[in-house]
Amino acid sequence: MEKQLTSLDGTPASRLAFGTMQFGGRADVAASRAIFEASLASGITHFDTAYVYNDGASEELLGAMLGDDRERLIIATKAAYTGGGSRKNIQDSFEISRKRLKLDVVDVLYMHRFDPDTDLHESMEALAELKQQGLIRYVGVSNFAAWQVVKAINIAAKFDISVDILQPMYNLVKRQAEVEILPMCADQGVACAPYSPLGGGLLTGKYSLGDTGRLTEDDRYAARYGLDWMHQAAVGLGQVAQELDVSAATLAVAWAAAHPMGPTPIISARTAEQLEPSLAALDFQMTPELYDRLSGLSPTPPPATDRIEEQ
């Protein structure tokens, strides 16, 4: 069963979350404020940031915007992307994050990625201490494989906490999460907030028009989405979008949100105008037929057992 996160005043998490990775980077103060207000106006209640985003500027800008809306919002940040998963690194960086956000309590704290060099008992105990002190409300993990999440769940239970939410990558051309991650979340009652529903902008169709963005500016994204079939899938998505007279970005976000597990995709943008098509996914009606048609644009990953004949 899908876990439902709520804010301090009991407001449930919105169907989509907004990721503030661009705040203080590609989005300046004015643009960040406009994006935040557009998200609120559309009903977004779940906002995501991280200690490492733009050297802290993302957390600082988000914290400065919360104001009277804070009680009804879910604010998530992440620790230990750099420096490892030690107790000291998690708790020291979180204290900096909390001050940047100007919050007494942060709703969600993720371990940003799995650290194979630190005993996970130490990491989970650090998160448990923060929760027991009333400084965080939910515990999350990001970029963990399914087996790593289950390991974290079992270790967390030793410290009387649960792993409440997972943040994996997931979009129409990155579907590995369908094999074990999304079923595991459904089975274990872990909420799921996948990032990159637009595939670094690939699924908006902008690169086929000659526009620039992460895929042209960041070698990591260029490699991540460098396969020809991915670009062909983006072209196919654009053709369906044109046929339906809707933005390709709207279709991409709505598709990611329509998985039966019930994930909460994290959308993002550099401007309020750029954000509009993603927000439109909140009201888009994804039929089973359209979902299957879009799914057919990219390869379905083989099952974890490799018994493809049983699919």
Catalytic residue set? 53
Two structure tokens written together for 138: 């939910």
Dihedral, CA atoms, 69, 255, 304, 261, nearest 10 degrees? 50
Q: Is 194 helix (H, G, I), strand (E, B) or coil?
A: coil
Q: At what angle are helices 228-244 and 288-295 packed, to 10 degrees?
A: 150
- Single-letter code of the amino acid located at 141: V
What's 162-181 look like in SS3? CCCEEECECECCECHHHCCH
Give the full edge-to-edge strand order of the sheet including 165-167.
191-192, 165-167, 136-142, 106-111, 74-79, 46-48, 17-19, 266-267
Alpha carbons 94 and 108: distance in angstroms, whole number: 11
Q: Which among 174, 159, 190, 49 is positioned nearest to 112, based on CA atoms?
A: 49
Task: Tell me the backbone φ, ψ of residue 74, rounded to 5 degrees.
Answer: -105, 120
